[in-house]
Amino acid sequence: MTAKEIRQTYLDFFKSKQHHIVPSAPIVVKNDPTLMFTNAGMNQFKDLFLGEAAIKYPRVADTQRCLRVSGKHNDLEEVGIDTYHHTMFEMLGNWSFGDYFKKEAIAWSWELLTEVYKIPKDQLYVSIFEGDEKEGLPRDNEAFELWKQFVDEDRIILGNKKDNFWEMGDTGPCGPCSEIHVDCRPFAERLAVSGKSLVNADHPQVIEIWNNVFMQFNRVKDGSLKPLPAQHVDTGMGFERLVRVLQGKTSNYDSDVFQPLIQFISEKSGFEYSSSAEPGDKGWNEAVAMRVMADHIRAISFVIADGQLPSNNKAGYVIRRILRRAVRYAYTFLNLKEPFLNQLVPVLANQFEGVFDELYLQKDFVQKVVLEEEVSFLRTLATGIQRFEKYETKNIIDGNFAFELYDTFGFPIDLTELMAREKGLTVDMEGFNKALAEQKNRSRAATAVDTGDWIILNQDNDTQFVGYDLTEIETEILKYRKV
């Protein structure tokens, strides 16, 4: 099955179970001070669970574009190094708002995985909440009994509060969850080791694919749990992980979700992609760079398409940091010294035609924005790298130097930290933060208003900040194009 078919099969399956299929919410969250980017399928339904919005459809399913690069969920450092954490990913989800509960949710997830997708039963593990006496949380016996109808007891793993109890916040809806893991190791290897210890990332080929959350309690202010008047189901399945499993690959990047991007990068850069290279092997750095670029362009493109442009603060800076991280990987490891990432935008957008038309229809615009960002960073990147290479230290990079890289050469601090790590060095963050705070005080004194939404470099490489609107950006891009 292709990725497109796999996604459609999920939606069709839940449609056949009377679910209403809804569109993905934008990846960029506006008007919520607690969240910058959508990081789970349930985000758009938060008010329903809190009882603050009317339930229109009691059963809903969708595929939600998510981003996990900030806050509680930050998977950025994993990307390109492991085979299954991405910055941007799709979360397939089905929900019951006060309608069905554990019995149906468990039976349907098992039916879909084993009968529709035909994942062999002996490759699946499930987990249930073991309870937590200290916290007064009961073990989820109900889920345990339900799973026993489908799986042998030794494939039901008991999980702790961290992995198997979901809470929206300090107060509010919460409940136990049940995860499904797939063991993708070769058959002989699977036979040789007992499964129990392997779940929860003990083995890189045993991966979590689906989380079923059962909201049945409301945690009130004094910390105690009250039963919710209506019980809800909230599930999330990692689409790229599912595709990898169904296509029989050992890495998400080998599936048809990522291969068009990786092949494009490989052809244009002239470096071969080695999926199996291990750290230290020849080809490892290049492979990481290709994976990072293929991953990051997805985050960048969807965020821009959903209305957040790269900028120097908040969500805009998160995306600028990711973009600069990708540009530097391309520059250093694949010798791509000219703007390149933007060429990936049409490759990506074409994959999402008819799925996320938000990107497909805006691909020219997104490409232009990425191009402009690349042009501006590439103006200072080479000099910054030279300065970094010449900098002499045994173990720690001085905060003031990190600040100079940031301020003069546009190196986000996490990029400097990454480059430092590659050399076995660390960065004096305290010193950096101090220098940053001093600069902020200086500029606060100079201007009362914080602009800084779009960066435009003038000829002598000074940065100049102006507010943005689309026509302004496009004018700038057109100017660049004419040069």
Positions touching ligand ATP (CB under 6 A) are 40, 68, 75, 85-86, 89, 91, 208-211, 236-238, 240-241
In the list Mg ion, ligand ATP, none, the entry touching 368 (Cβ below 5 to 8 angstroms by class) is: none
Q: What residues form DSSP beta bridges with 64? A: 91
> For the purposes of burial, counting CB atoms within 10 Å of the CB of 288, is it exposed (0-12), middle (13-18) or buried (19 or more)?
middle
Question: Would you count residue 164 as binding Mg ion (CB under 5 A)?
Answer: no
The Cβ-side half-sphere exposure at 123, using a 13 Å CA radius, reads 21
Nearer to ligand ATP, 42 or 381 (CB): 42
Position with the least CB separation from ligand ATP: 238
What tokens does 354 get?
């008819």
In the list ligand ATP, Mg ion, none, the entry touching 92 (Cβ below 5 to 8 angstroms by class) is: none
Nearer to ligand ATP, 90 or 99 (CB): 90
Contact with Mg ion (CB under 5 A) among 39, 127, 164, 211: 211
Residue 326: strand, helix, or coil:
helix
To ligand ATP, the closest distance from the beta carbon of 188 in angstroms equals: 25
Position with the least CB separation from Mg ion: 211
To ligand ATP, the closest distance from the beta carbon of 395 in angstroms equals: 31
Pairing of strands 396-397, 426-427: parallel
In the list Mg ion, ligand ATP, none, the entry touching 369 (Cβ below 5 to 8 angstroms by class) is: none
To ligand ATP, the closest distance from the beta carbon of 297 in angstroms equals: 15
Axis crossing angle, helix 102-110 with helix 141-148, rounded to the nearest 10:
40
Residue 430: how many other CB atoms lie within 10 Å: 9
- Within 8 A by CB and 6+ apart from 316, the residues are 308, 309, 310, 453
State the Cα–Cα distance between residues 159 and 166, nearest whole angstrom: 12
In the list ligand ATP, Mg ion, none, the entry touching 68 (Cβ below 5 to 8 angstroms by class) is: ligand ATP
Question: Would you count residue 212 as binding Mg ion (CB under 5 A)?
Answer: no
To Mg ion, the closest distance from the beta carbon of 386 in angstroms equals: 37
Pairing of strands 73-74, 20-21: unpaired
Nearer to ligand ATP, 160 or 224 (CB): 160
To ligand ATP, the closest distance from the beta carbon of 91 in angstroms equals: 5
Which of 179, 197, 184, 209 lies closest to 120 in space, CA to CA? 184
Judged by the rule CB under 5 A, the positions of this chain that interact with Mg ion are 208, 211
